[in-house]
Structure 1
Amino acid sequence: MTDADPPPFYQAHIFVCTNRRPEGHPRGCCAARGSEKLRDYMKARAKELKIPDIRVNTAGCLERCEFGPAMVIYPEGVWYRPTTVEDVEEILQVHVIGGGRVRRLMLTDKDVPPPKG
């Protein structure tokens, strides 16, 4: 970000992959792993907590299917793989509200999909 850039529209902009692939696809998909339920919970809970300047969006494939459900939080660009509503709650409390990180749920540079072949 430079001084010439406008301020962010949201303090936290969260993209949750809800991509759906055919059953049995070798890479799997986030929707089959419950990402829609997790997205819905995150949206409702953020509203309930009255977190200001947050947006939780549905995303198509984020290309980390093997590690899903996948989500990414901007402006930091931190990737997570929550599997339960308790994980989502922890991300909201620790990352979004508290400014910390939930290390045990983070996807890192080591979590990359296999090369396309």
Structure 2
Amino acid sequence: MVQPKYHVFICTSCRINGQQKGYCFSKGSVDLVQRFMEEIEDRDLSGDVVINNTGCFGICDKGPVVVVYPEGVWYGNVTEDDVERIFEEHFEGGNPVKDLMI
């Protein structure tokens, strides 16, 4: 069983029936998941960082929403451009990205 250092949940507005529609989805959260996956691969962090897409967190005006455990850090309005900073500062540096936190 993999015991990752970080478990990342990204809202993709996935509904119970499997449909993806909603605010985070409309703001590119599926592409955001892909960007996180690419960064994991590029940095060889597949054992340290695990990504899951989720349904709505209920704070759509802050979307796309990304939640990182075990710290329970919530990031809002995350874009593909923010992913590199999250990896460098949070996952590799150990310091959450303050200006993205909600």
The one-letter code matched in structure 1 to 2:30 is: E
What SS does the aligned partner of 1:90 have? helix
How far did residue 82 of structure 1 move?
4.4
1:75 aligns with 2:45: no
Q: Distance in 2 between matches of 1:93 and 1:71?
A: 16
Pick one of 4, 8, 15 that aligns with 1:14. Answer: 8
TM-score (norm 2): 0.83
Alignment RMSD, CA only? 1.5
Contact conserved, 1:10 with 1:55, CA < 8 A, in 2? Answer: yes
TM-score (norm 1): 0.74
Query: Sequence identity of aligned pairs in percent?
Result: 37
1:1-117 maps to which residues of 2 (within 5 A)? 9-19=3-13, 20-21=21-22, 29-51=23-45, 52-107=47-102
Rg larger in structure: 1
Q: How many residues align?
A: 93
Runs of 4 or more consecutive aligned structure 1 residues displaced over 3 Å after TM superposition: none
How far did residue 83 of structure 1 move?
3.5
Which structure 2 segments of 5+ residues have no match? 14-20
